[in-house]
Amino acid sequence: MLHACFNFGIKGDYDPTRITEKRFYIQHNPVTATKKNTKASQPGNRVLSHEEVRLFWNNIDNTHRVGFVMACAIRFMLATAGQRPKQLLRATWEDYDFQRNCVTLIDRKGRQGTAKIHVVPLTGRAMAILRAVREVSASYPWPFCSGVKGRSGANKGELLPLTLESLKNGFIRYNKALAERASAEGKPAPEPFTARDIRRTVKNLMIDAGINREQRNLLQSHAQNGVDVKHYDRHEHLPEKRESIRRYDALLDKILKGEEITLVNMDTYRQQKELSFS
C-alpha cells in the first residue's frame, strides 16, 4: 500500500494533465526495495465439500439476520457458476435479458481498468431465484436490493443494492450459526468460508463436471490469453457457456438432492486406456 501511495505521488507531480496545483515533491519511492511479505498474502484454498454446499443452500435463508433478498443473492452466486459477487449485486433489472435468459455483467479490473462485457446464461434454477426475488424488489433498479438507503458518506440517503459488506456479514452469521450448532453437539467448529471460497468451490465443481479449463475460464470471466483472443475473439461465447453451465447445473442438482455422485478417477481411467491399446 505504501509503495502504491508513493508511486501515485510521483506520477501526480509529473503528470501534464493534472488539474490541481498540489505537488508532493517526491524524488523516489523509498518503499521500492522493501520485500513483499508473501506469507501475508497467500491465496486461499478453502473448498466446500458437496455436503457443505447442500447444507449451505438449504439453510442460508434460515440463518439469523440473513434476510430473504440476501439469501437469494447468495444462492444466485452458486446458480450462476460463481460469478463475482460485486458484479452480480450491481447488475440492474435492465441488464437481464429474459428472452435469451442471460445477464450482462461489466467486468472491470481495477479503478481505471477497461470494461469488459461478460454475458452469463441463466439456468432454470437461476431464473427461479429471480422470479422469487422480483416479488420483493421489482420496483427497485436492482434485483438484489432490500430497499435500504445509504446511511453515511457520498451515498447517504440514496437507495443502494446489497453491498459487499452486507454479503460478508451474511457469511459471518452463517459460519457463526454452524459454530454454535457444533458447540452444542460437542463437536469442533467447521472451518469458516467466504464468498471468495464459493467461487473457488464452483471452479472445483466444474472440474468434477468435466468442464475443461478454457470453458471454465470463459464462464467465470477469467482473462483469456493469446493474440486471437485479444484481436479477433470478441463474440459472447454464449453457446459454449450454455453448455458449460448446463453440465455444472446438472452436478449441482445432484448435490442439492443429496444424491451419491461417482467421479472418474483420472489415474485409473488413464491406466485402463493404456491397457486397452496394449
Look at residue 153 and tell me if it is in a domain.
Answer: yes
Q: pLDDT tens, 202-213? A: 999 999 999 999
pLDDT (mean) for 231-255: 83
For strand 102-107 and strand 96-97, is the pairing parallel, antiparallel, or unpaired?
A: antiparallel
Q: Does residue 87 sit in the same domain as residue 122?
A: yes
Q: Specify whether the CB–CB gap between 251 and 261 falls below 8 A.
A: yes
Q: Does residue 10 sit in the same domain as residue 109?
A: no
Query: Which of 11-25, 71-85, 96-110 has the largest mean confidence?
Result: 71-85
Q: Does residue 9 sit in the same domain as residue 81?
A: no
Look at residue 274 and tell me if it is in a domain.
Answer: no
pTM, two decimals, is: 0.79
Look at residue 132 and tell me if it is in a domain.
Answer: yes
Total structural domains in the chain?
2
- 139 versus 235: the higher-pLDDT residue is 139
* pLDDT exceeds cutoff 80 at 267: no
Q: Does residue 135 sit in the same domain as residue 6?
A: no
Look at residue 97 and tell me if it is in a domain.
Answer: yes
- 165 versus 108: the higher-pLDDT residue is 165
* pLDDT exceeds cutoff 80 at 118: yes
Nearest-CA neighbor of 126 among 261, 257, 242, 213? Answer: 242
Check residue 230 and give its pLDDT: 42
How far is it, in rounded angstroms, from Cα 97 to Cα 91? 12
Q: Does residue 6 sit in the same domain as residue 95?
A: no
How far is it, in rounded angstroms, from Cα 175 to Cα 42? 22
Q: pLDDT tens, 4-19? A: 888 888 887 877 777 7
pLDDT (mean) for 83-89: 96
Q: pLDDT tens, 164-221? A: 999 999 999 999 999 999 999 999 999 999 999 999 999 999 999 999 999 999 999 8
According to the 3-state scheme, what is the secondary structure of the chain? CHHHHHHHHHHHHCCCCCCCCCCCCCCCCCCCCCCCCHHHHCCCCCCCCHHHHHHHHHHHHHCCCCCHHHHHHHHHHHHCCCCCHHHHHHCCHHHEECCCCEEEEEECCCCCCCCEEEEEECCHHHHHHHHHHHHHHCCCCCCCCCCCEECCHHHECCECCCCHHHHHHHHHHHHHHHHHHHHHCCCCCCCCCCHHHHHHHHHHHHHHCCCCHHHHHHHCCCCCCCHHHHHCCCCCCHHHHHHHHHHHHHHHHHHHCCCCCCCCCHHHHHHHHHHHHC
* pLDDT exceeds cutoff 50 at 232: no
Nearest-CA neighbor of 129 among 183, 82, 80? Answer: 80
Side-by-side strand order, sheet with 96-97: 96-97, 102-107, 116-121
Q: Does residue 26 sit in the same domain as residue 116?
A: no
Check residue 99 and give its pLDDT: 95
Look at residue 115 and tell me if it is in a domain.
Answer: yes
How far is it, in rounded angstroms, from Cα 222 to Cα 70? 25
Check residue 269 and give its pLDDT: 47
Average pLDDT, the chain: 86
Q: Does residue 29 sit in the same domain as residue 123?
A: no
Q: Does residue 25 sit in the same domain as residue 133?
A: no
Q: What is the extent of the structural domain holding 17?
A: 2-41
Q: Specify whether the CB–CB gap between 65 and 166 falls below 8 A.
A: no
Q: Does residue 27 sit in the same domain as residue 85?
A: no
Q: Specify whether the CB–CB gap between 103 and 119 falls below 8 A.
A: yes
Q: How confident is the model at residue 152 (pLDDT cuts 50, 70, 90)?
A: confident
Q: How confident is the model at residue 268 (pLDDT cuts 50, 70, 90)?
A: low
How far is it, in rounded angstroms, from Cα 276 to Cα 8? 62
Q: Does residue 18 sit in the same domain as residue 120?
A: no
CA atoms within 13 A on the CB side of 228: 0
Look at residue 15 and tell me if it is in a domain.
Answer: yes
* pLDDT exceeds cutoff 50 at 227: no
Look at residue 272 and tell me if it is in a domain.
Answer: no
Q: Does residue 13 sit in the same domain as residue 140?
A: no
Check residue 160 and give its pLDDT: 93
Q: What is the CATH number of the domain that holds 153?
A: 1.10.443
Q: Does residue 19 sit in the same domain as residue 55?
A: no
Interacting residues of 160 by C-beta distance below 8 A, sequence separation 6+: 145, 148, 149, 150
Look at residue 273 and tell me if it is in a domain.
Answer: no
